[in-house]
Amino acid sequence: MTRSIQRRPLVAANWKMNLLPREGAALARELLPRIREETGFVDVVLCPPYPGLAAVADVLEDGAVGLGAQNSHWEESGAYTGEVSPRMLLTLACQWVILGHSERRQLFGETDEGVNQRTRAALAAGLNPILCIGETLDQRDAGQVESTVLGQLDRGLDGLTAEEVLAVAVAYEPVWAIGTGRTATPEEAESVHALIRDRLREGFGEAADAVRILYGGSVKPENAGELFGQTDIDGGLIGGASLRAEDFAAIVRAATREAEQP
Ligand code: PGA
């Protein structure tokens, strides 16, 4: 389908806590020739764990594929053991950062308030946040999809201007679909994406039409095309399948087919 507005698809790889630096560099090297043409139509971003950033940046040096980290703190420096600041990531050639991933929220106690602070600091430093939101299975079963997802969205983006929100990609990732092999159907996902788009319009006006809303949760080559074909699904945040060059390349190709090609 052709989109009425110009939202270039974005496909981001979330490698999570996988791959040593040399393994990440090898995967990036394997991937690049497979998606060279696609990068003319789709933004592709690789998010290795911190130790792999420099090695992967070396492989991506021509800039056709972007680099992102998996988290960043709100302070520039200080006594925050284990944390990394946006400015530190900029020195490693990152342009993107995943924030508020459900694993951070569930396993490491991150809150909406903290995610908002991280988002604002990342933007102030010049990074593009990928803000993750999504409901658990219990919340879905209790009929709380809308309140959960829109609540996380509102609190995550609190205080941003319309101009700032243009630099953000929102990733809708139902927690029950992450790493489980169980994907939201294209219709289930689209209905939540449309709610997110409407809420962005309420808060930020027409800027909402330019914000990429990604779907994440067991995206694979077999289901990517149908998901990306939905009106408000502008790409994906890919975990497990991004660790295999062939699969990730196939997902990027699926996004290219949905891109508005000249
Ligand atoms: P998955 O992970 O593709 O392995 O489900 C997605 C994510 O957690 O970002």
Instruction: Note the Cα 241 to chain centre separation in Å.
Output: 14
Q: What are phi and psi of 36, to 5 degrees?
A: -55, -50
Q: Whose CA is nearest to atom 3 of ligand 1?
A: 239
Query: Does the annotation mark 193 as catalytic?
Result: no
**Alpha-carbon gap, residue 5 to 86, rounded angstroms:** 31
Active-site choice (103, 110, 135, 173): 173
Tell which one of 105, 223, 237, 244 to mutate to probe ligand 1, the residue whose CB is within 8 A of the most ligand atoms.
237
Tell me: the pLDDT tens digits for 64-116?
Answer: 999 999 999 999 999 999 999 999 999 999 999 999 999 999 999 999 999 99
The contacts of residue 197 (CB under 8 Å, 6+ apart) are 208, 209, 211, 213, 232
Active-site choice (38, 73, 101, 103): 101
By CB atoms closer than 10 A (0-12, 13-18, 19+), residue 19 is buried
Tell me: the pLDDT tens digits for 238-254?
Answer: 999 999 999 999 999 99
Query: Does the annotation mark 101 as catalytic?
Result: yes
Extract the runs of DSSP E, i.e. beta strands, from the chain.
10-14, 43-47, 66-69, 96-99, 128-133, 169-172, 213-216, 235-238
Residue 1 has pLDDT above 80, yes or no: no
Residue 261 has pLDDT above 90, yes or no: no
Cα 214 to averaged position of ligand 1 atoms, centre (Å): 12
Nearest atom of ligand 1 to the alpha carbon of 98: 9
- Ligand 1 site residues (CB inside 6 A) read 14, 173, 178-179, 216-219, 237-241
Q: Whose CA is nearest to atom 7 of ligand 1?
A: 239
Q: pTM value?
A: 0.96
Q: Residue 2: what pLDDT?
A: 42
